[in-house]
Structure 1
């Protein structure tokens, strides 16, 4: 009986078992092949991604090595002996004189001397036509190129023919004639008076560079010149092997003009074969076992197909009412008896369902965590917004109360100084009045500080020499920091001038030095270094937050050798009222004031610090682009007396009284008005000249600017001096802070007021602060 006939005559159970075994074997084989193909694809893609990352890293490493190679070449090319010998050779060659062996020997000795101190494999010197004059190599068998070899290298031709003022280097690959050893070379022209008198080549053997590349990248590597394989590490024996995944890194042009390329390679089969071998053995064993189990199970199922299924359905129906499996299906509770195949299938499906639900639960949990993180970030942003709103509110409050504070402080300081002059015979009273005046000045300084960090102060910029400001403060700063701390200065001799408020610059320098002093150890002292430099900022700096435009800038740096600060502290140092000093040792406004002044002056500030390594603040300010006359020193000046008529317009009674007393004490004729319309009426009734209008900026009924414009139309030639205690933002809205406008910021010192009045009457602009 044939096999087909026996198969037809066999029982249904045998047929089902055989069919099940064949199907199982095919499924196992297909699964193995699909898994192997998927693994090969995954390995190939993983190798591609890995090689691309290694490619980028090696390109950066290659660029760094080539730049280092060029820097070394540039240093070597400056050898006086070498340059003198090359110049002599060039002169004698151009004159048609025969070659001098002693001169060539001198060049060779100098090249060998220099080469002995270099960690390189090749050093070649040519004349201005590319002819090799001297060469030395560490390659086996010499390896140095013969005369005429290097003239074909594009990098050499580039160094000889390029504009010597702009093009100074080239890179490429040189394959020497002795043994074909390839070198990666950097070429630099040896210049004399701006013209090339020769070329210096400095190179490394590629077979020494390749192991370092393969160590860094963790791959095999080979080098090609055009279509030729010249060096290899690993199992690469031919170009284009489909078993290898490659990524290329260009090395430049070779001496025959063909591109030289470094290839990183990974063998797919070398990594995949061990995996597929073990996987194949596992699949083979699993397949044999599956075929046996499926075949035997199919034979069993052919006899009991419906009975286990019916029992399982009955079990599902009776499970809830029976309270368990024991009564309906006692054999299910027997741990030694395997469950029916149908139950096993359902259990497997149930397990897959549980696994799917577990994944969904994990995904849901991740989503919940992500939402919690988003909510936390939102809360952090809201906290930052609230902090910003607090700062803005504080700045608005400071700007709002500045006017009233400055008026009150002007009255206090003014009458205190007048009383000091009148109490010349009473020393105790003079001391008390001096304390009042000193307290008022401290209060005025605090108001300016509040306006500074909120960027609402009135700045009076002028072209200043930052070196002069630092030098002028040096003695005061030495007294301020104490004897145990050393103050050093490094000032650029030809420092560009800047346009800024000199008083505010002094405040910045003093705050930074005080901050540096407080960062020093209490017993060991330290050093504070103040530096000025002319610098040029590039586009990378311009992309930073709060950075000034790229280009020329003036840098002011304050460096200390104190305890430094960590990243968390560094991020908050410019926040108002943030301080790391003990309670009562600081207001927390010092660095925030510095930041506000610098930003309002059009500059930027950066800080560099590490715990235990001190701290450096760098301020960058744009250089001045216009010429401005030098500011008058407020501590000097001529006689402030006068006989002219001054119309004082001030809505504050006490302030108006102080202004009248100050002016009248120096011989001026004073007319008083409490607001603009009243001033217009007084001016209309006054038959004589009115030489100066001294007016507040912000007043009821009419602003000081409107009053000045109307009076100047009625009285051409009338001079105007504005005063105000408001912040810069409020004053700018009234159009007062413009060039050529005389303005004084409250609080006013009587002497400064009188001096400014005299200057305005004499024809100066009087733009300043009191």
Structure 2
């Protein structure tokens, strides 16, 4: 024990430094360190606390026909799989894109892509959802989103956004050889498309007739140099028409904006004695047939024309035509754009990319390709702009998810260590209270220590809540009942200046959630609303519950909300509102708009964690000056599925209340202070206790052949963890009852521990809660 104090102090200092590194605020790290040391001092006076077992609802079997009908509503490839990636249902777009009907985790052409998809599956199972950007699959790169689905959240919904986007060269080839090529032909234009190797891919009718004597050869297409010869003055001549044939002017447009090859080059030829290619109608036909943003600029730097894709990428309306390219970008980038256009218009023909920030999207730099043109009438510069707003959005979502995951892991680790200490403090308090009665001089002091320890346990639950690792106590309930229970408290919290309005809809379905955690969600949102309305002298807080049927979900316009029946809870205020620039950050941990000293930034992140862990969804909608609305969607739970589980009753009320017992219990715990208090507590309740510091020692005791009625083990231990040790012990004793103790969430542990017939006891726990859990584990075996 002598080494324990410096070890824990060192751990406290390291954890405080890590917390300061993560959030950059010394006051939080200092408070953390001070609280840790204070509880360390109290840990040698006191002890521990526990929890009740949780009834697990039976697995809900999804209606795959209904799922298939829902998936068919999406134009993107969508698949529903099990937690292991096994296909359950796919839509038509998925069948068309992946005709072999391979599992999403096996779609990649190489091991690295399959590893990315497998990691996305694991992250979605852990966090609820996950996104990947630029995943190379059949037919091009796509954005992949994975989300947990199903009433038990044991299914995965895969969506491949952008999967139907065709290859640029395929689109250009189809149009050059089709109706667009015919329109160019009527204007006297010969058009051909060649790949990066210079081979002919497609041509319109005049070019095919004059250069090939018919259609292009599919098996062995000729190269451009085999069809066209260069003459004086940079003009071109078709070899098939001989040296005396007419000459043409040539204009080439690269289709590959990234410069990585593979997209080919579009070649247009115009006879010297035919109509002018610079004619605006012909040029517009050329631009509109390409699925990329193109615009032409004259030698003075003014726009001549642009296609629809360029307008969309530039944030313009269909009838808008700015005078100069610099009008599209922010003030700081105007000079660079003007200089690039001037150099390409009057100097030698060349091209290059210029990073700019558009006016309508100043926070996201985009690449503007500027290329010099020759032989196209008044057009001197070609501008290429791609709308990558969706790509940037996916990158932000991935970055946000990564940051939330890192902070969640940190919070979960800190809470786990705290729970071990609080278990010892609460447990020792209970043991000391057994020797003192009300009225003793030490009785009130011990009660005060236990009360403060329980408050600290509440803080760790808050940390676990926003990291979605807390242990919930789900029940079948109605949202109006929860609102009614907490409305009296809300009236006192809101004060006299805020009017509370409660409205309930009809035909709300039951939901499965922890009522205490739902009350915390409502209180946190109500307190934030009160603070937002404080500056204006008060206002109105409206809490509303209503039903959302599956056929109404599509009308909500959300890509995140799966098709299902929901019971919704809306909390709206008439406060100052939240600006669009920070609305997307409100659920981040430690983010707050309140002044220094008046907000921790954990309130909304805790709300988000509770809602997501309950299988629901939360959305924020706000407008500055008009207030804010938070809407929570919880999936409807069908009570009939739980009748069987709810019908199970204890055989006798006396057995429920009797905590004394007999038999030998093997206790495995690597934390000495937790092990000591658990051993003393179980001994006081009549059990014989064998202790082990780790899994190896526990297996040695099991191999001795002693009679063991129950094995209690921590989950996370060095060398050999609890689940590994239990699997080895069950080989020789398959019917051995198991009770796991852990500071992590039971839901998370059950997903990662594939062991049947085990019970869980979350830390911190009290002596009574430990005795109740042991008694239940022994009576249920």
With normalisation by structure 1, the TM-score equals: 0.47
Larger radius of gyration: 1
Structure having the larger proportion of residues in helix: 1
Choose between structure 1 and 2 for higher RCO, CA contacts under 8 A separated by at least 6 residues: 2
